[in-house]
């Protein structure tokens, strides 16, 4: 198999190289969604690809491509959640389980829209910290891979991750009250 980290690769080549990884990521996202969700993992990956294909981007690495694809999938899911919520005119919020590493030691049932709003708030304070959360939570990247994508040291990523996680936990707890 060709090296998926080459920066001169087109999105369709990179997609082929990391397709299974993205499909697993999409499956994990959708496993946290409501039971009647109509979107399937394959469709989620393909919708993300449709968003990425027209972009004129030089992909720095496999981690960069997976991270951007993960963010695209997040946005697709948030859009679906908003449409579902508005279709029900304020009906039950779109719920998902949040990774334990985001909110602390106990698993929380989290509204995806609330998480998106909290990340938007964090981005106003620190674009980099919000990006790190996206790459870690939605992209499943390691600290070293995130450091490569964000172009800072792994130590900086770890410090930003700790701050962002605490800030998000506070925002989500405050918003729940």
Nearest Cα neighbor of 96 from 108, 106, 110 is 110
What domain range includes position 162? 106-177
Predicted confidence at residue 142, as pLDDT, reads 86
Domain end among 69, 92, 115: 92
Domain match, 119 and 49 both: no
Domain match, 113 and 70 both: no
pLDDT digits (tens, 9 = 90+) for 96-118: 444 444 444 344 455 777 888 89
Q: How confident is the model at residue 177 (pLDDT cuts 50, 70, 90)?
A: low
Domain match, 18 and 86 both: yes
Asked if residue 176 has pLDDT above 80, the reply is no
Predicted confidence at residue 26, as pLDDT, reads 80
pLDDT digits (tens, 9 = 90+) for 65-99: 878 888 888 888 888 877 777 665 444 444 444 44
Domain match, 82 and 54 both: yes
Asked if residue 162 has pLDDT above 50, the reply is yes
Structure token pair of residue 123: 């981005």
Alpha helices in the chain (DSSP H): 11-31, 41-52, 62-87, 100-103, 112-125, 127-133, 143-150, 154-176
Predicted confidence at residue 41, as pLDDT, reads 83
Domain match, 88 and 112 both: no
Domain match, 40 and 113 both: no
3-state secondary structure of 53: coil
Nearest Cα neighbor of 115 from 150, 75, 65, 87 is 75
Nearest Cα neighbor of 112 from 27, 45, 33 is 33
Domain end among 32, 57, 92: 92
Domain end among 40, 60, 92: 92
Domain match, 6 and 75 both: yes
Predicted confidence at residue 94, as pLDDT, reads 46
Domain match, 31 and 118 both: no
Q: Is residue 149 part of a domain?
A: yes
pLDDT digits (tens, 9 = 90+) for 20-70: 888 887 887 777 676 666 778 888 888 888 887 777 777 777 787 878 888
Count of structural domains within the chain: 2
Domain match, 88 and 116 both: no
- CATH code at position 110: 1.10.10.10
């Amino acid at each position: 198999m060709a090296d998926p980290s080459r920066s001169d690769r087109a999105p369709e080549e990179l997609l082929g190289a990391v397709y299974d990884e993205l499909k697993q990521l999409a499956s994990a996202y959708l496993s946290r969604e409501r039971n009647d969700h109509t979107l399937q993992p394959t469709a989620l990956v393909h919708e993300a690809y449709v968003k990425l294909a027209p972009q004129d981007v030089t992909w720095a690495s496999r981690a960069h491509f997976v991270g951007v694809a993960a963010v695209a999938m997040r946005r697709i899911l948030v859009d679906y959640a908003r449409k579902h919520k508005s279709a029900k005119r304020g009906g039950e919020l779109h719920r998902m389980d949040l990774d334990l590493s985001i909110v602390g030691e106990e698993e929380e049932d989290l509204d995806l829209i609330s998480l998106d709003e909290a990340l938007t708030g964090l981005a106003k304070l620190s674009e980099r910290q919000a990006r790190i959360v996206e790459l870690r939570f939605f992209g499943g990247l390691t600290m070293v891979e995130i450091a490569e994508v964000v172009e800072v040291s792994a130590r900086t990523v770890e410090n930003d991750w700790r701050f962002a996680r605490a800030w998000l936990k506070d925002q989500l707890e405050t918003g729940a009250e």
